[in-house]
């Protein structure tokens, strides 16, 4: 009976697999985290800030009451209806790019894991070398778990307390600059 003897993979083999496992897990975690946590939060924050900015701009627009009020209300309703119709749905180009990006992220992660599997199978069957993939995966998962706990603690105790300048500041600054220009046209 013929038995195949496998050699232990060299340090270079193990290092290459360790790096590939590390990059693959990182890509997987970041992709899942971005599309499930960051993207919805960012979208919600941008929508909120845009609405706040638009509301602030409209609050500060003076209304001339000498204009025929029903005519002005009708014109405003038509304009707002047009804006609502135009902007009520997400931009097709933006949605298309985001879908492409999601697909590209998934494809990149799959390619990394396929490369990992292909490299391991090649070493195992063609080179008759064993690389302890289970041990390397376990070490990397443990490492990512510890790093994840440190990052979570940082976000809970530090990052959440950070107060950035809101984008609505742009609308406020725009109104102030316009008022200053209108008050002093020579400036």
Question: Which of 84, 62, 56 is CA-nearest to residue 168?
Answer: 56
C-alpha dist (Å) from residue 167 to 13, 42, 83, 85, 159: 50, 13, 21, 24, 18
Q: Which residues pair with 130 in a beta bridge?
A: 8
What per-residue confidence (pLDDT) applies to 115? 95
What six digits make up the tokens of 120?
């391991």
Is residue 3 classed as helix, strand or coil in its secondary structure? coil
Name 132's Cβ contacts closer than 8 Å, sequence gap at least 6.
Answer: 9, 14
What per-residue confidence (pLDDT) applies to 104? 95
pTM: 0.66
Where exactly are the structural domains of the chain?
8-182
What six digits make up the tokens of 138?
């376990």
Question: Which of 165, 132, 172, 146 is CA-nearest to residue 25?
Answer: 146
Q: Angle, to 10 degrees, between the axis of helix 168-183 and the axis of helix 39-59?
A: 20
What per-residue confidence (pLDDT) applies to 76? 65
Q: Angle, to 10 degrees, between the axis of helix 11-33 and the axis of helix 133-157?
A: 40
What per-residue confidence (pLDDT) applies to 69? 60
pLDDT tens string, the chain, 187 residues long: the values are 667 788 888 889 899 999 999 999 999 999 999 999 889 988 888 878 777 777 776 666 665 555 556 666 666 677 767 766 776 777 788 889 989 999 999 999 999 999 999 999 998 888 888 888 899 999 999 999 999 899 989 988 887 777 776 666 766 777 777 777 777 766 5
What per-residue confidence (pLDDT) applies to 179? 74
DSSP state of 89: S
């Amino acid at each position: 009976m013929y038995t195949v003897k496998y050699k232990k993979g060299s340090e270079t083999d193990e290092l290459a697999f360790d790096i590939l496992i590390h990059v693959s897990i990182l890509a997987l975690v970041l992709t899942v985290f971005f599309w499930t946590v960051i993207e919805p939060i960012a979208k919600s924050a941008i929508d909120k800030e845009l609405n706040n900015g638009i509301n602030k701009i409209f609050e500060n627009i003076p209304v001339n009451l000498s204009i025929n009020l029903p005519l002005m209300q009708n014109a405003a309703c038509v304009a707002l209806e047009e804006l609502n119709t135009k902007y009520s749905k997400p931009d097709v180009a933006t949605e298309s790019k985001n879908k492409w990006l999601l697909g590209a992220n998934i494809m990149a992660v799959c390619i990394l894991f396929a490369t990992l599997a292909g490299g391991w199978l090649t070493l195992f069957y063609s080179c008759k070398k064993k690389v302890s993939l289970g041990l390397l995966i376990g070490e990397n998962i443990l490492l990512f778990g510890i790093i994840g706990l440190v990052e979570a603690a940082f976000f809970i105790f530090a990052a959440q307390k950070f107060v950035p300048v809101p984008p609505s500041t742009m609308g406020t600054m725009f109104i102030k600059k316009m008022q200053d220009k209108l008050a002093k046209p020579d400036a």
